[in-house]
Amino acid sequence: MSSTTTTLPPAPAGPTGPAPSKAAVAGEGRIGLRANLRHVGALVRRNLLQIKKDPESMFDVLLMPVVFTLLFVYVFGGSVGASLGGGRQDYLNYLVPGLMAMMGVNIAMAVGTGVNDDFRKGVMDRFRTMPIARSSVLIAKIVVELGRMMVAILILLAMGFALGMELKGSVYGLLGAVALTGAFGAAIMWIFILLGLSMKTAQAVQGMGMLVLMPLQFGSSIFAPTQTMPGWLQAFTDYNPLSNLADAARGLVMGGPTGNSVWWTLAWAAGITVVMAPLAVARFRRKA
């Protein structure tokens, strides 16, 4: 963390020179792992208390899985299911694992708007006066949003099973799909944190996020097979990380082949985190 800027009175000189200031001791480099974890825990609790005071902030998590599942199954299920060689039931089995990828990135967008909103309200002004690691503020945001993401995925799966989705794979495969979605969602959050720190308003963050996510979501295998798409679009879907995530989740849940989709998803998640996390933390230090 950047050292605090409070002006301290000159320390009395000793045999080895002036005593170190509190600001120097409070530097982020002096904060150990245990203290960092303690800071993250305290900030996670603060963010959870915010949700408790504002339960409406959970509406997207609670309603989005229900609305999207019903909408796509009953509007597109008949036609797309027929292209899969079956009907609405086959499309349900195809769609729900793909929607896990969509839920992950859509929930991830909220962390960017939350960070931007905290700066606008002056909350970060309080944090920068405290001897805590700057990164702990961002990591706490990610931990809470991961919790919200897991709630959304749980509701999505419950909705899918209520409509008749079959678990053709193993329970371990299902848990692996959930974990893979969480890992990729956590990586995407660093992108939205950087957007939240770089743009002026939460509305701008949300608008930019939707502008990027819409082509990635609909130009993927989340909602429909890619075989009938034009050649240039199929080439795009082959490199689309959401296609890899959707195919990996579908294979794990339905017991089908995953190919290299799992490894490509993990590679995307690791690459995004390695690049975006340092950029986001550096931007946070400069902005705060």
Q: What is the pLDDT along the chain (288 residues), one digit of tens a residue?
A: 444 344 444 444 444 443 333 443 344 445 667 777 787 888 888 888 888 888 887 888 899 999 999 999 999 888 888 888 788 889 999 999 999 988 888 888 888 888 888 778 777 667 666 767 777 888 888 999 999 999 999 999 999 999 999 898 889 999 999 999 999 999 999 999 999 888 888 888 888 888 888 889 999 999 988 888 888 998 899 889 999 999 999 999 998 888 889 999 999 999 999 999 999 988 888 875
Does residue 122 sit within a domain? yes
Residues constituting the chain: 288
Number of domains in the chain: 1
85-88 long-range contacts (CB < 8 A, ≥24 apart) are: none
The one-letter code for the residue type at 227 is Q
Does residue 7 sit within a domain? no
> Can you tell me which residue has the tokens 């992108």?
191
The confidence score (pLDDT) of residue 70 equals 93
The one-letter code for the residue type at 175 is L
Question: What are the CA-CA distances from residue 24 to residues 5, 27, 262 (Å)?
Answer: 10, 5, 45
Half-sphere exposure of 150 (CA within 13 A, CB side): 13
Domain enclosing residue 45, as ranges: 32-213+230-287
The confidence score (pLDDT) of residue 76 equals 87
Does residue 9 sit within a domain? no
Does residue 266 sit within a domain? yes
The confidence score (pLDDT) of residue 24 equals 35
Does residue 16 sit within a domain? no
Question: What are the CA-CA distances from residue 229 to residues 18, 150, 160 (Å)?
Answer: 71, 32, 26
Q: Which residue, 209, 204, 247, 201, is CA-closest to 98?
A: 247
Q: Record the tokens describing residue 150, joined without a space.
A: 């897991």
Half-sphere exposure of 199 (CA within 13 A, CB side): 21
Does residue 88 sit within a domain? yes
Does residue 146 sit within a domain? yes
Does residue 224 sit within a domain? no
The confidence score (pLDDT) of residue 261 equals 92
Q: According to the 3-state scheme, what is the secondary structure of the chain?
A: CCCCCCCCCCCCEECCEECCCHHHHCCHHHCCHHHHHHHHHHHHHHHHHHHHHCHHHHHHHHHHHHHHHHHHHHHHHHHHHHHCCCCHHHHHHHHHHHHHHHHHHHHHHHHHHHHHHHHHHCHHHHHCCCCCCHHHHHHHHHHHHHHHHHHHHHHHHHHHHHCCCCCCCCHHHHHHHHHHHHHHHHHHHHHHHHHHHHCCCHHHHHHHHHHHHHHHHHCCCCCCCCCCCCHHHHHHHHHCHHHHHHHHHHHHHHCCCCCCHHHHHHHHHHHHHHHHHHHHHHHHHHHC
